[in-house]
């Protein structure tokens, strides 16, 4: 520069070099204490994400003394990294159906509380005593029991998180500790005992599991005794709930009409365990999964079909880890194919205005969005989507074992919220579901929200039955569906 000597310029250059170096090193040193750290922790969380985080919950390691997460040190280093990755954006908070109805749960606050607790305990010069590492409770950074039990495990939080935080597995791991200690609602405890004793949540004898078949005008094969092309895993609600039994019989009629060679396991079937596992009863889940895998492996079939998305999810994503790797499809995929192949023939276009509810375990969990919509199109329905649909669908409230836990008096329910959303659609005639638990939850919510008579809740199977030709030639059985 003009007027600057060489010595002055050299000194200035050296001074700026040192200044830049000190500032850069200071910036690096301060990264863990500023929001800049999210650039690195978020990248790490995204790189290490499990694409099946909620669909396939982690097993309890054989060498682990505790079944669930009691202490902050019980979480994996990857889970602790994800706590640091949270940017407080609040997307999970807004998506949570429990929070939307006033339940004491915010997925964001669970993560932030655990992060606060981890920072307080794990950054100390010495690891505190075990009692000070307990993440359960109502102290600073701890998570209350009421918060954990409010979760529907619907995966809405995991779906919207931009940094791939796996809220649901963390919550379920903490629930496992509550279950181990017996800290749960008495009705839930009784239901789990009932499932352990009878293999179903209704407390019915195993011999009654297939009682719905007795009123059919045709026999249903016993897949334990003879080979079938399609093994139908029916599920608890479809087998024992009176309203859902009608849908089950209607689906049996569809399969018979299409000439599908199918059978069921009769009393060889047990509760699939999907919701038992998400409650946190890992031991009972492994018993149920083991029993079903034994029955399935003894049968001869090509594919499994189920009308229950909860059973579909656990058989598809979790049974393989226990030695039960099978081809399985939700009934909407099978029926879509039967319609397109002409094995089920549509006699009339329904011409009704409908909206479709995406079940969490079929939609968000397993991306089964298109088949039910294609079926509705083939039936001649006018589909009006709700604002919250597909991956943004709003949970019915039954998941995570919540169907077995009474809601607090005066608290709204997610299903009520959903019915009000549907009621806002002009001229809506039918609210369509494709899950037994959805049918139960929404038919009840239709009445309690005062919308009975404005529109009806129906299973997609029922609409298919209304549209089909009753007198069609039945194809020869034995052709794989």
- What is the CATH classification number for the domain harbouring 113? 1.10.1060
Q: Are residues 385 and 455 in the same domain?
A: yes
Report whether 458 contacts 431 (CB < 8 A): yes
Asked if residue 475 belongs to a domain, the reply is no
* Residue 442 to residue 429: CA distance in whole angstroms: 14
User: Of 382, 378, 383, 381, which Cα lies nearest the Cα of 338?
Assistant: 378
* Residue 55 to residue 106: CA distance in whole angstroms: 20
pLDDT at 1: 54
Asked if residue 245 belongs to a domain, the reply is yes
Blockwise average pLDDT, block size 10, the chain, 481 residues: 79 92 89 82 93 91 84 95 96 98 98 96 82 93 98 98 98 98 98 98 98 98 99 99 98 98 99 99 98 99 99 99 98 99 96 99 98 99 98 98 94 96 98 99 98 98 91 43 46
Buried/exposed code over 358-394 (b: 16+ C-beta within 10 A; e: otherwise): bbbbbbbbbebbebbbbbbebbebeeeebebbeeebb
Q: Are residues 112 and 143 in the same domain?
A: yes
Asked if residue 118 belongs to a domain, the reply is yes
pLDDT at 287: 98
Asked if residue 106 belongs to a domain, the reply is yes
- Total domains in the fold of the chain: 3
pLDDT at 211: 98
Q: Are residues 355 and 310 in the same domain?
A: no
Report whether 61 contacts 123 (CB < 8 A): no
User: Of 58, 288, 41, 271, which Cα lies nearest the Cα of 171?
Assistant: 58
* Residue 435 to residue 416: CA distance in whole angstroms: 17
Report whether 328 contacts 315 (CB < 8 A): yes
Q: Are residues 103 and 53 in the same domain?
A: yes
Q: Are residues 197 and 311 in the same domain?
A: yes
Asked if residue 6 belongs to a domain, the reply is no
Residue 182, Ramachandran bin (φ over 0: left; ψ between -120 and 50: alpha; else beta): left
pLDDT at 478: 42
Write down the residue that tokens 């009705």 correspond to: 187
Asked if residue 473 belongs to a domain, the reply is no
Q: Are residues 358 and 328 in the same domain?
A: no
pLDDT at 40: 87
Structure tokens at 212: 């719905």
User: What is the full DSSP assignment across 181-249?
Assistant: TT-S-HHHHHHHHHHHHHSSTT---GGGTTGGGGGSSS--EETTTS--SEEE---HHHHH-HHHHHHHH
Residue 303, Ramachandran bin (φ over 0: left; ψ between -120 and 50: alpha; else beta): beta
Q: Are residues 333 and 366 in the same domain?
A: no
Domain endpoint, select from 127, 161, 180:
180
* Residue 81 to residue 378: CA distance in whole angstroms: 47
* Residue 68 to residue 64: CA distance in whole angstroms: 9
Instruction: Map residue 76 onto helix, strand or coil.
Output: coil
Q: Are residues 444 and 368 in the same domain?
A: yes
Q: Are residues 277 and 375 in the same domain?
A: no
> Could you tell me the residue range of the domain that residue 425 belongs to?
343-467
Structure tokens at 407: 């809601």
Asked if residue 132 belongs to a domain, the reply is yes
pLDDT at 481: 46
User: Of 269, 310, 309, 257, which Cα lies nearest the Cα of 293?
Assistant: 269
C-alpha count within 13 angstroms, C-beta hemisphere, residue 208:
14
Q: Are residues 175 and 232 in the same domain?
A: no
Helix 370-378 / helix 331-340 crossing angle, nearest 10 deg? 40
Q: Are residues 227 and 308 in the same domain?
A: yes
Q: Are residues 163 and 194 in the same domain?
A: no
Instruction: Supply the CATH number for residue 451's domain.
Output: 3.40.50
CA pseudo-torsion sign 418, 419, 425, 430: positive
Domain endpoint, select from 180, 204, 236:
180
Asked if residue 373 belongs to a domain, the reply is yes
Structure tokens at 219: 């026999």
Task: Identify each DSSP E strand in 300-401 by its residue range.
Answer: 303-306, 328-330, 353-356, 382-383
Structure tokens at 172: 């379920």
Domain endpoint, select from 323, 339, 355:
339
């Amino acid at each position: 520069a003009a007027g600057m000597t060489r010595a002055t310029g050299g000194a200035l250059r050296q001074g700026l070099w040192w200044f830049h170096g000190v500032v850069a090193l200071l910036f690096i040193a301060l990264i863990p204490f500023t929001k800049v750290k999210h650039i690195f922790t978020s990248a790490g969380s995204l790189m290490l994400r499990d694409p099946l985080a909620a669909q396939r919950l982690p097993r309890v390691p054989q060498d682990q003394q505790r079944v669930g997460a009691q202490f902050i040190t019980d979480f994996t280093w990857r889970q602790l990294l994800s706590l640091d990755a949270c940017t407080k954006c609040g997307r999970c908070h807004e998506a949570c159906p429990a929070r939307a109805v006033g339940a004491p749960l915010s997925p964001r606050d669970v993560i932030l509380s655990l992060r606060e607790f981890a920072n307080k305990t794990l950054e100390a010069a010495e690891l505190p005593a075990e009692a000070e590492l307990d993440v359960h409770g109502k102290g600073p950074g701890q998570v209350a029991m009421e918060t954990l039990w409010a979760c529907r495990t619907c995966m809405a939080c995991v779906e919207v998180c931009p940094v791939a935080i796996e809220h649901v597995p963390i919550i379920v791991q903490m629930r496992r500790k509550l279950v181990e200690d017996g800290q749960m609602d008495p009705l839930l405890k009784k239901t789990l005992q009932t499932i352990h004793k009878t293999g179903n949540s209704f407390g019915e004898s195993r011999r009654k599991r297939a009682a719905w078949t007795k009123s059919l005008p045709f026999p249903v094969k016993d897949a334990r005794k003879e080979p079938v092309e399609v093994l139908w895993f029916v599920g608890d609600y479809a087998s024992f709930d009176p309203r859902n039994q009608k849908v089950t019989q209607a689906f049996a009629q569809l399969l018979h009409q299409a000439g599908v060679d199918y059978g069921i396991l009769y009393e060889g079937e047990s509760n699939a365990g999907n919701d038992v596992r998400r409650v946190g009863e890992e031991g009972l889940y492994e018993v149920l999964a083991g029993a079903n895998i034994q029955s399935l492996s003894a049968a001869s079939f090509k594919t499994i079909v189920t009308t229950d998305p909860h059973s579909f999810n656990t058989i598809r994503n979790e049974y393989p880890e226990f030695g039960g790797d099978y081809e399985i499809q939700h009934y909407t995929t099978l029926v879509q194919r039967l319609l397109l192949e002409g094995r089920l023939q549509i006699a009339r276009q329904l011409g009704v205005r409908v909206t479709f509810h995406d079940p969490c375990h079929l939609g968000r969990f397993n991306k089964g969005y298109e088949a039910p919509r294609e079926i509705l199109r083939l039936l001649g329905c006018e589909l009006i989507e709700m604002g919250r649909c597909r991956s943004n669908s709003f949970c019915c409230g039954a998941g995570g074992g919540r169907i077995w836990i009474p809601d607090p008096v005066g608290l709204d329910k997610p299903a009520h919220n959903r019915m009000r959303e549907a009621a806002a659609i002009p001229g809506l005639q039918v609210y369509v579901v494709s899950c037994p638990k959805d049918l139960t939850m929404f038919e009840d919510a239709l009445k309690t929200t005062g919308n009975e008579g404005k529109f009806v809740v129906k299973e997609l199977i029922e609409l298919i039955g209304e549209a089909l030709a009753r007198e069609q030639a039945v194809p020869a059985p034995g052709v794989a569906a």
